[in-house]
């Protein structure tokens, strides 16, 4: 059975590294490292501001000091997203226009709201009421930027086609070890996982499958935060399938999970990434299904 090695640093939709994974070409690395780093750095800065706003021990002066650098990061963030999407279009072996168009339409609105809330608070006194409103706005932007980063990483990973022999049960289990850190006010979700397998492995990229499973869970989640059920099937003579739904029976494998925030581009990006990686992703009517060929 192929075991998975965990990278201690979260890097987008999945943090699993395949042993023996082929390295990217030098040109592709050079084109992606800097813009992906910018996206990660801006997200970290927004989260830092959110943390400062939440801490009663941090005064207004300390908060005011971090606003200018964040203001100056808005344009580089937008440019970096465009650069990443350009690379995705260049490397993709199947159509990606629907996914890239959704991200290109959504990202400017998030960057615009970040810029607006920072401009509003820059150089002004912040009382308790204004601070709470500022914190709420920054928390929403942080959650949205986190999902954008994860979707960008998912599309990049899907274009790499770095498949390896993996165990479906291990992939499902590893999904719940990944911290997607949506930073929302919703409670963690209870997820039950069950399996129908013959212990055979199959070829796929965990760095694609893990975020797809997490997006499926987030898409199925309802307003009441009722439990979600994951049923994974893997037999040597059948397509691999993961069915995520709101109905099912409690199983011995129970997890507490913070799925990523669903944003407008989430589902089309999931469908596109699955197709790039030779699989399929369908989410509708309280159910999500991932199917992978043998």
10/175: higher pLDDT: 175
Predicted confidence (pLDDT) at residue 282 exceeds the cutoff of 70: yes
Predicted confidence (pLDDT) at residue 27 exceeds the cutoff of 80: no
Predicted confidence (pLDDT) at residue 274 exceeds the cutoff of 70: yes
User: What's phi and psi for 280, nearest 5 deg?
Assistant: -145, 150
pTM (two decimals): 0.87
The span from the CA of 96 to the CA of 112, in Å, is 25
The span from the CA of 87 to the CA of 159, in Å, is 10
Locate 6 and state its tokens. 């965990």
The span from the CA of 4 to the CA of 110, in Å, is 35
Locate 257 and state its tokens. 């999970």
Q: What is the mean pLDDT of residues 170-175?
A: 95
Confidence of residue 20 (pLDDT cuts 50, 70, 90): very low
Predicted confidence (pLDDT) at residue 105 exceeds the cutoff of 50: yes
* pLDDT tens per residue across span 140-150: 999 999 999 99
Residue listed under structure tokens 């300390």: 62
- Least confident among 59-73, 126-140, 182-196, 228-242: 182-196
Q: What percent of the chain has pLDDT over 70?
A: 87
What is the bridge-based pairing of β-strands 228-234 and 189-197? parallel
pLDDT given for residue 26 in this prediction:
56
18/203: higher pLDDT: 203
Locate 205 and state its tokens. 């990229």
* pLDDT tens per residue across span 70-97: 999 999 999 999 999 999 999 999 999 9
| DSSP, residue by residue, the chain | -PPPEEPSS--SS--EE-TTPPPPPHHHHHHHHHHHHHHHHHHHHHHHHHHHHH-TTS-HHHHHHHHHHHHHHHHHHHHHHHHHHHHHHHH-SS--HHHHHHHHHHHHHHHHHHHHHHHHHTTS---HHHHHHHHHHHHHHHHHHHHHHHHHHHHHHHHH---EEE-HHHHHHHHTTS------SSPPEEEEEEEEE-S--EEE-HHHHHHHHHHHHHHH--TT---EEEEEEE-TTS-EEEEEES-----SEEEEE-PPPP-TTHHHHHHHHHHHTT-EEEEETTEEEEEE--
Q: What is the mean pLDDT of residues 15-20?
A: 39
- Least confident among 3-12, 182-191, 251-260: 3-12
Cβ atoms within 10 Å, residue 270:
31
Residues 6 or more apart whose CB falls under 8 angstroms from that of 101 comprise none
Instruction: Give the residues across from 14 on adjacent strands.
Output: none
* pLDDT tens per residue across span 189-229: 999 999 999 989 999 999 999 999 999 999 999 988 899 99
């Amino acid at each position: 059975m192929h075991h998975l090695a965990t990278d201690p640093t979260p890097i987008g939709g999945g943090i699993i590294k395949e042993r023996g994974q082929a390295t990217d070409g030098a040109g592709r690395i050079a084109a992606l490292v800097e813009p992906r780093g910018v996206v990660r750095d801006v997200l970290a800065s927004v989260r830092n501001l959110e943390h400062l706003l939440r801490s009663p021990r941090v005064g207004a002066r300390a908060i005011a000091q971090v606003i200018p650098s964040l203001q100056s990061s808005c344009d580089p963030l937008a440019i970096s997203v465009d650069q990443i999407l350009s690379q995705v279009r260049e490397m993709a072996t199947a159509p990606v226009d629907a996914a890239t168009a959704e991200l290109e339409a959504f990202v400017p609105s998030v960057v615009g709201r970040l810029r607006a809330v920072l401009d509003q608070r820059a150089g002004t006194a912040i009382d308790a009421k204004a601070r709470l409103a500022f914190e709420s706005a920054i928390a929403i932007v942080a959650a949205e930027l986190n999902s954008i980063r994860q979707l960008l990483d998912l599309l990049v990973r899907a274009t790499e086609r770095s498949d390896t022999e993996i165990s479906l049960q291990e992939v499902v289990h590893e999904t719940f070890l990944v911290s997607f850190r949506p930073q929302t006010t919703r409670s963690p979700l209870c997820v039950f996982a069950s399996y129908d397998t013959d212990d055979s492995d199959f070829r796929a990229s965990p760095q694609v499958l893990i975020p797809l499973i997490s997006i499926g869970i987030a898409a199925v989640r309802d307003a009441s935060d009722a439990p979600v059920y994951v049923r994974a099937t893997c037999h040597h003579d059948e397509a691999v399938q993961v069915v995520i739904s709101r109905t099912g029976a409690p199983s011995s494998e129970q997890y507490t999970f913070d799925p990523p925030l669903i944003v407008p581009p989430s589902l089309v990006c999931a469908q596109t990434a699955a197709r790039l990686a030779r699989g399929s992703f369908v989410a509708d009517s309280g159910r999500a299904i991932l199917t992978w060929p043998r």
